[in-house]
Amino acid sequence: MTAAVAVAHAGHGAATTAWPPGVVVPVALAVTVALTYVAATAAYRRRRMRPWRPARTAAWLTGCALVVAALSPATAVAPDDASRHMLQHLLLGMLAPLALVLAAPVTLLLGVAPPGTRRAVGRVLRARPVHVLTHPVTAAFLHVGGMVVLYLTPLYALTTRSPLAHGAVHVHFLLAGYLFAWSLAGPDPAPRRPGTATRLVVLVAAGGAHAALAKLLYAHADRLPPGAEHAAADVEVAAQWMYYGGDVAEVLLAVAVLGGWYRRRARRGTGRAPAPRPVAAGR
C-alpha cells in the first residue's frame, strides 16, 4: 500500500476529472492487495477449518477503498488547494489506517503461513525495538509529530512543488497512522501492549494535540503553512477538515479500543478461555 501512495504522486499537479496515468499503477496495487487478502482468508478457512471473520475482510476492503479514494480524481490535489490536501491526509493518515488495522492482517498471516514464517513473525513481535516502536506514546509522537512538522515548517510548501516530497509525506502519513491505530486498537497479537487505560490516555492526549494544531492553523490561516501560497479562507476550511475529521477518526479509535476491552471482559465473564495466540503456533 505504501508503494501505491508513493507512485501516485508522480504527476499530482492539477485536479482532473479522469484517472491520470500516475494513478493507474497504485490503484492496481491497491486492488491486488485487497484480492490477496481475500485469497488468504480462503486459505485460512481451508487450513483452520473455520471461517475468517467477515467483518475483518470488510474492514480491509474498506481501508483499500479509502486509499483509492484518496488517490482518485475526486480528491486530486492542485498546488493551491489546501482543503483537498487536508482531505487526502485525513483519508490516508487516519481513516484508512484504522480500517486496515481492524482487519488483523498479522493474525491472518500467522493463520496461513508455514511454521518457519510464523516463528519469524513471532520473534519480530517480541523484539525489544519493536516494543519501543509500537508503544502508543512512540506511535502518537510519529503520528501527530509528523503533522506538526508538515504544517508548521516549510515542508508543506515543498510538497506543493515536489511530487517526490508529496508522495513521501503521504507514505509517512499512512505508515504512522497505521502504527498509531495498531498500537491502540489493533486486534493482532502485540506482546507487552500497555493496558486499556494507558492507551485511552494516549489517545486523549494525541487528540488534544491534533485539535490544538487545527486551531493554530485556523487562527493563523494568513501565515500558515509557512511558504504556502494559499488563500486564508482555504486554509481555514482545511483547518476545519482537520479539526472535525480528526474528531471522527478519534471517536472511531476510542470505540475500537473500548470494543476490544469489552470483548475481553465478556470472554472472562462467560468463563470462555481466549483463543490461543497465533504467535505460539509456530513455537
Please report the pLDDT score of residue 160 as a whole number. 84
207, 246 contact by CB (below 8 A): yes
Q: How far apart are CA 71 and CA 253, in angstroms?
A: 23
First to last CA, the chain: 30
213, 148 contact by CB (below 8 A): yes
Average pLDDT over residues 272-283: 47
40, 47 contact by CB (below 8 A): no
Is the pLDDT confidence value at 15 over 60? Answer: no
Q: How far apart are CA 158 and CA 199, in angstroms?
A: 34
- Cβ atoms < 10 Å from Cβ of 42: 12
- Residue with the bigger pLDDT between 106 and 228: it is 106
Please report the pLDDT score of residue 161 as a whole number. 85
Please report the pLDDT score of residue 13 as a whole number. 42
- Cβ atoms < 10 Å from Cβ of 181: 26
Q: Predicted confidence band at 54 (pLDDT cuts at 50, 70, 90)?
A: very high
Please report the pLDDT score of residue 270 as a whole number. 61
Residues of the domain holding 272: 2-282
Between helix 196-219 and helix 232-269 the angle, nearest 10°, is 170
Chain segment 110-139, per-residue pLDDT in tens: 999 999 999 999 999 999 999 999 999 999
Q: Look at the alpha carbons of 85, 139, 217, 66 in this order and tell me if their dihedral is positive or negative.
A: positive
Chain segment 216-275, per-residue pLDDT in tens: 999 999 999 998 888 899 999 999 999 999 999 999 999 999 998 888 777 776 655 455
Chain segment 63-88, per-residue pLDDT in tens: 999 998 888 776 665 556 888 889 98
Percent of the chain clearing pLDDT 90 (strictly above): 61
Chain segment 150-182, per-residue pLDDT in tens: 999 999 999 888 888 888 888 899 999 999 999
- The set of cell numbers assigned to 269 is 465473564
- Cβ atoms < 10 Å from Cβ of 229: 9
Q: How far apart are CA 101 and CA 25, in angstroms?
A: 23
* Residues 137/3/121/141 CA torsion (nearest 10 deg): -10
DSSP 94: I
Please report the pLDDT score of residue 230 as a whole number. 87
Number of domains in the chain: 1
Instruction: Enter the pTM of the model.
Output: 0.85
- The set of cell numbers assigned to 169 is 509525506
Is the pLDDT confidence value at 22 over 70? Answer: no
Chain segment 31-40, per-residue pLDDT in tens: 899 999 999 9
Q: How far apart are CA 237 and CA 243, in angstroms?
A: 10
